[in-house]
Structure 1
Amino acid sequence: MAETGTARPGPQPRMSGDAMRLAVKVARMYHERHMRQTDIAAELHISQPRVSRLLKRAEEAGIIVTTVAVPAGVHTDLEDEIELLYGLDEVVVVDVGGSEQDVLAALGAGTAAYLESTLIGDDTVGVASWSATLIAAVDRMRPARGTVVDAVVQLVGGVGAPRVQLQATQLLGRFAAATGASPVFVSAPGLLGSASARQALMADPTLADVAALWARLTTVIVGIGSLEPSALLRESGNALPEADQETLLKAGAVGDICHRFFDGRGELVESAVNDRVVGIEPDQLRRVPRRIGVAGGARKHTAIRAALLGGWINVLITDLDEANRLVEYARVAVGRDTQAG
């Protein structure tokens, strides 16, 4: 919103009385009466370039003061702070509270809107299939007018229980339909029983072709999991066995992305589980230029924070309460470091 007639403090470019009067008049016509510069020029019998110069001089002199009115429910200041504190490229805060289901639905809607506005073409996108939040997002995506994604590739194996497998397949299929992309599936379980079985499977030409696409990804869209598997993952049959969960817990794991588990600092937890995952490699994942993580809720706070600290994602879509928790944690951590120093 532009305001006229209030000068900013400090040195101002000198203007004669006539020039000042004309600059104010032009500013009011342009900002208050919403006239086009050509119409202003015609009415005042001056050239259009002179109108442009007068508007610029009016801004420099403080006659025009531009302010941005932030509507309720928009939290760009909080988003900017999280970006600065955690070194992220972008943060989207969805104004929602309440139950886990409320947060999931709102994150789905927020993610759909974000993807619709930022997928503009020539992208090869990787998607994690076992995420209820991503399913909610894809369900809310509207079809693009043209092809905005070249291919959408599954990031981790997805063969499992038929009912849940159908959801994972539909996630990729609906995303492809909404963006004009060609879907590429991983026709294998997400976790095999041994490293040798995984090695043999990844040598298969079909999976080798998928792995080649992982190296060409420009964007990934992932959920962030806590150590305890989600209901969707548990039902799929791709959840970790309890013995593996116990091993990872003892090693300090707090969360995962695509079955790659990390500790509270975001460091990859080295374990035999990594050698059995049919999916994108950790280093390969973290080299993708745009890495969008979608997660929220108090239960996932530790995992989300660790994913940010470890550089697993560089775009975060989360809820308002979690955004505030992330800021509070970072402020406390900075305070501790200051006292220690």
Structure 2
Amino acid sequence: MTNPHTPRARAGREPEPDQLRLLGKVARMYYERGIRQPQIAAELSLSQPRVSRLLRQATEVGIVRTVVTMPPGTYTELEDAIQERYGMRDVVVVDASGAGDAVLPALGAATADYLDVTLTGGHVIGVSSWSESLIAAVDVMRPKNITVVDKVVQIVGGLGDPAVQMQATRLTGRLADLTGGTPVFLSAPGLVGSPAIRKALMRDPSVKEVTELWSRLTVALVGIGSLEPSPLLQRSGNALAETEQEELRSLGAVGDVCFRYFDADGKSVSSNLDQRLIGITPRELMQIPRRIGVAGGSRKFSAIRAALRGGWVNVLITDLEMARRLVAED
């Protein structure tokens, strides 16, 4: 006598009607009525492993089809498109109204959420000093209950006008406090007056102690700048003079990461500025496994696109308008 609960489908053939009926019945009990597998097994006189196999088979033959419905405010298709186009490790797109600095609160909140999820322990984070996007992120970050970061290290000189320097210092200190790490400050300006001053400072033991940590970084958290400095950078005293901006523009520069400038294709642009900068080198930056760039606003499109093309960052957190432009234009 044939057991009605015994599937009779042969390998490579469609299930027969009685088997399809059983598959459908088990699938509806589990997915539509919310009955747990042990109860299904008891009601239908099946073993629990058999119920699990039937549910798997119901998916294989198309009785159960998984449909992912994304909630409003998520843009996974757009994120995937940018990730594929530019060879990114990850992309986060956030809806932000307005332009320019109006996107900062949304970028800050998205960055705080991303770090909350992805900082899982043992990290050594390098952070650029003069980024309003990063300051907005630490302003809304929630403290972690456990230590997830060993050190938070400045990768660009943090000294500047005393009226705004405290924001750059607070960025490093606050991020360390929130993640349980030890802050490591770079007690030098981002830009100095001459190559000779830079050489002297780079030999200073306190500066050298910081720069030697750059080879140990596992995460970089950076802004992406355009040639026109942000208001914070302008006030800091580390901004470029107009003549320096013109020189970089004549060399094809469109943006920077940590004061390291690049052209529209993301290739490094060498200038006299490099000899006056106290900060991480492009080579050191590129060796960091996860390089998180936080930037948005319409004026930064050329800089952000170039940074992606050149691999300066491999994780991007940006606004919806920017994301759409990155996909539409290349």
TM-score (norm 2): 0.94
The equivalent of 2:232 in structure 1 is: 232
Q: Is the 8 A contact 1:134 1:223 kept in 2?
A: yes
Q: CA deviation at 1:13?
A: 4.6
Q: Is the 8 A contact 1:266 1:309 kept in 2?
A: yes
The equivalent of 2:50 in structure 1 is: 50
Does 2:225 correspond to 1:197?
no
Does 2:251 correspond to 1:251?
yes
The equivalent of 2:102 in structure 1 is: 102
User: CA–CA distance in 2 between the matches of 1:203 and 1:29?
Assistant: 72
1:40-119 pair list within 5 angstroms: 40-119=40-119
Q: CA deviation at 1:205?
A: 1.6
Does 2:241 correspond to 1:241?
yes
RMSD: 1.4
Per-residue displacement from partner, 1:125-176 (whole Å, max 9, x unpaired)? 1111100110000101001110111111111001111121111111111111
- Cα distance change on mapping 1:34 and 1:200 into 2, 3 Å: same
- Cα distance change on mapping 1:145 and 1:12 into 2, 3 Å: farther
Structure 1 unpaired stretches of 5+: 1-10, 331-341
Q: Percent of aligned positions with the same letter in both sequences?
A: 59
User: CA–CA distance in 1 between the matches of 2:277 and 2:302?
Assistant: 23
User: CA–CA distance in 1 between the matches of 2:99 and 2:241?
Assistant: 28
The equivalent of 2:187 in structure 1 is: 187
The equivalent of 1:14 in structure 2 is: 14
Q: Is the 8 A contact 2:99 2:298 kept in 1?
A: no
The equivalent of 1:303 in structure 2 is: 303
User: CA–CA distance in 2 between the matches of 1:122 and 1:43?
Assistant: 49
1:39 is matched by which residue type in structure 2? Q
Structure 2 unpaired stretches of 5+: 1-10
2:312 is matched by which residue type in structure 1? W
User: CA–CA distance in 1 between the matches of 2:249 and 2:14?
Assistant: 69
Give the match's secondary structure for 1:300: helix
The equivalent of 1:154 in structure 2 is: 154
Q: CA deviation at 1:12?
A: 7.8
Per-residue displacement from partner, 1:65-90 (whole Å, max 9, x unpaired)? 11101222111001111111111111
Q: CA deviation at 1:92?
A: 0.6
2:142 is matched by which residue type in structure 1? R
TM-score (norm 1): 0.91
User: CA–CA distance in 2 between the matches of 1:27 and 1:20?
Assistant: 10
The equivalent of 1:209 in structure 2 is: 209
Aligned residues: 320
User: CA–CA distance in 2 between the matches of 1:276 and 1:20?
Assistant: 74
Per-residue displacement from partner, 1:175-231 (whole Å, max 9, x unpaired)? 111111111000000011111211111111211111111101111010001101111
The equivalent of 2:324 in structure 1 is: 324
Comparing 35-44 and 173-182, the one that deviates more: 35-44
Per-residue displacement from partner, 1:258-295 (whole Å, max 9, x unpaired)? 11111111111111111111111111101111001010
The equivalent of 1:219 in structure 2 is: 219
Q: Is the 8 A contact 1:173 1:183 kept in 2?
A: yes
User: CA–CA distance in 2 between the matches of 1:268 and 1:61?
Assistant: 53
Q: Is the 8 A contact 1:12 1:60 kept in 2?
A: no
Q: CA deviation at 1:97?
A: 2.5
User: CA–CA distance in 2 between the matches of 1:99 and 1:56?
Assistant: 49
User: CA–CA distance in 1 between the matches of 2:266 and 2:16?
Assistant: 61
Q: Is the 8 A contact 1:94 1:318 kept in 2?
A: yes
